Structure 1
Amino acid sequence: MTEPLVSIITPAYNSEKFISETIKSVIAQTYKNWEMIIVDDCSDDRTCQIVNSWVKKDKRIKLIRKKINSGAADSRNIALENSKGRFIAYLDADDIWYPNKLSKQVKFMMEMKCGFSCCSYEVIDSDGESKNKYIYMKDILDYKGFLTNNLLQTVGIMADLKIIERNNLIMPDMKRRQDAATWLQVLKSGKKCYGMKEILAKYRRVEGSLSSNKLKAAQGVWYLYRNVEKLSLILSIYCYIRYALLAIWKRIYVNNYSQKRCSIDN
């Protein structure tokens, strides 16, 4: 039986430091029927030259170069528009997958007959060293649950286009939280996100990036509630407080759990 094609969506901008390691993690997958669509957002470093060197080595890798810098959301939408796979998987240009990520997640989704899933992941620093933080997914997450939950990460997301409408994966034009807004689109349509407890990916937290700036991230969450989801002021405050408390809990619990795990492993 032929494996369903997985389309991997990768936006890139000035990613010369990490892009080769990201591509290597895709080529190392035990699951072989994939295409990797890398959309470059007008990089002014060696990103395109590096990607082109990989394109010559593996025809499953495709590079699309934009003429105008327009952000990650637009890059992902271009990749989605050019994708041919049944499954859509997201991998940013500085993140990494474990070799069995695709095989396990596709099998999980087909067995569960679910259209939307996210695997658990670990956090690494800009040098690729583990920060001893492991983020574990909830078994099932719906729209209301996601409004106050900040565990989903793009590196672990996969969608089955036989179940999820392609239009629900089109990302809104936002500088921050465009990925979260997209997952809310999917969940608002009545679908649920099924979580995998197994760690299958590495999310790189780079100092100075949009996602690493706590204040801007918090502002992005509030913007998402009020301007995108158009929640009432009272509901926005309620969701924001829940979000903040969960973020604090995650920082304390994840750090404590990771320290215990690290001491056990050693």
Structure 2
Amino acid sequence: MSPTISVIMSVYNDSKYLEKSIESILNQTYNDFEFIICNDCSSDDSLSIIEKYAMLDKRIVIINNQDNLGLATSLNKCLDIAKGEFIARMDSDDISLPNRFKEELDFLKTHSEIAVVGCKCNVIDDLGEKRKEFLIHEGEVTLLDAIKKTQIIHPTVMMRKSALLKVSGYTVDEKTQRAEDYDLWCKLLEKGYKIFNIDRILFLYREGISGIKKRKYRYRIQEYQLKKYWMKKKKVPIITYLYAIKPLFVGCIPTVLMNMYKRIN
């Protein structure tokens, strides 16, 4: 019998946090799931950690990329073999609280009109210390909301697989290298699917200094290009283009100032 939920996660050199991330999934109160983990050609000991847990829990399915293919391609490979009716995302440096799957699944089962549900988070730093509570957008997300900026935290979501298949999963393109989630939400909403954020803390989202260092300026240019594409396609008001330009300005802020901002917010 197929599992109800397929959890999909791509891993690239995240051995520092990987064990806690995997354990947070295996310790969910709702346990009818498979856990598909794609090792995207990590050079650290991420694969050995994944293999260790796979020996202990048969719900874990491993995909091992021989080359580094990127997040969108790796997640699509997970989707290709997923057997569940629902798809839950997870990132290799975050933590799902024990009741996350139960609450998100209950919501989707009682709200048949919703295709994607996300949740509120506690933001933690590199040391796992709580910094703040975080919910980008409470309630239903409209297409205009999504075009302005990413309105749902990608690793928190549970989605109907049927909806993902209708939009051909994640777009693999240079512009979506660091914005595959933004593009996915726009595609789903354009097709008439609904997205909703619940105001419940079910997730610990890691946002540390190491994450800031990963945000290369070329990714900000790609994000700008992607947003401009969607804004032009849907003919949004001119003032909305300010949301596309914002990442370019933020990328000009010196790292030391961004680090100070992260520490006080």
TM-score range, shorter chain: 0.7 to 0.9
How far is 1:47 from its partner? 0.3
Q: Which residue of 2 aligns with 1:69?
A: 68
Query: Is 1:238 matched with 2:239?
Result: yes
Contact 1:122–1:133 (CA<8 Å) still a contact in 2?
yes
1-structure distance, mates of 2:120, 2:222: 23
1:225-265 superposed Cα distances (whole Å, 9 cap, x missing partner): 224x26169848522425759xx9xxxxxx9xx98xxxxxx
Count of aligned pairs:
247
RMSD: 3.0
Measure how far apart 1:4 and its partner are: 6.0
- Secondary structure of 2:242's aligned partner: helix
> Is residue 206 of structure 1 aligned with residue 208 of structure 2?
yes
Query: Is the CA contact 1:205–1:212 (under 8 Å) kept in the aligned structure 2?
Result: no
Equivalent residue number for residue 258 of structure 2: none
Give, in whole Å, the separation in 1 of the partners of 2:213 and 2:169. 20
Deviation at 1:210, TM superposition (A): 6.4
| 1:159-215 Cα shifts (integer Å, max 9, x gaps) | 1135x2414251112321011111111111111111211011111113243696395
C-alpha displacement at 1:31, in angstroms? Answer: 0.3
Q: What is the rounded CA distance, in whole Å, between the counterparts of 1:58 and 1:233 in structure 2? A: 46
Query: What SS class does the counterpart of residue 68 from structure 1 fall into?
Result: coil
Is the Cα contact below 8 Å between 2:231 and 2:241 reproduced in 1? no
Distance in 1, Cα, partners of 2:212 & 2:143: 24
Q: Deviations over 1:71-115 (max 9, x none)?
A: 111110100111000000110111111100000000011111122
Distance 1:33 1:233 in 2: 39
CA contact (8 A) 2:72 2:180 kept: yes
- Matched with 1:157 is 157
Task: Return 5+ residue gaps in structure 2 as ranges.
Answer: 251-260
- Measured in 2, the distance between the counterparts of 1:145 and 1:139 equals 11
- The whole-number CA distance in structure 1 between the counterparts of 2:185 and 2:168 is 8
Q: Please give the alpha-carbon distance, in whole angstroms, between the structure 2 residues aligned to 1:159 and 1:242.
A: 26
One-letter code of the match for 1:70?
L
1:23 maps to: 22
Question: Partner letter of residue 122 of structure 1?
Answer: N
Which amino acid in 1 is paired with 2:79? L
The aligned runs of 1:81-160 (5 Å cut-off) are 81-113=80-112, 114-135=114-135, 137-160=137-160
**Structure 1 residues 195 and 4, CA gap change in structure 2 (3 angstroms):** farther
How far residue 64 of structure 1 moved from its aligned partner, in angstroms, is 0.7
Correspondence 1:212-223 to 2 at 5 A:
213=215, 218-223=220-225
Q: 1:189 aligns with which of 191, 203, 207?
A: 191
Q: Tell me, what secondary structure is at the counterpart of 2:188?
A: helix
**Contact 1:88–1:159 (CA under 8 A) maintained in structure 2:** yes
User: What's the offset of the Cα at 1:132?
Assistant: 1.8
Structure 1 residues without counterparts, runs of 5 or longer: 249-254, 260-266
Partner Cα separation in structure 2 for residue 3 and residue 99 of structure 1 = 22
TM-score by length of 2: 0.83
Q: Contact between 1:15 and 1:93, CA under 8 Å: does it hold in 2? A: yes
CA distance, structure 2, for counterparts of residue 193 and residue 211 of structure 1: 30
Alignment CA distance shift 1:57-1:4 (3 Å): closer
Aligned to 1:55: 54
Task: State the match for 1:170 in structure 2.
Answer: 169
CA change 1:130–1:3 in 2 (3 A) is farther
Sequence identity, in percent?
A: 26
Equivalent residue letter for 2:242 = I
Bigger drift between 115-124 and 85-94 goes to 115-124
Cα offsets for 1:23-46 (capped at 9, x unmatched)? 110011000101110001111110
Instruction: Work out the CA distance in 2 between the residues paired with 1:215 and 1:125.
Output: 22
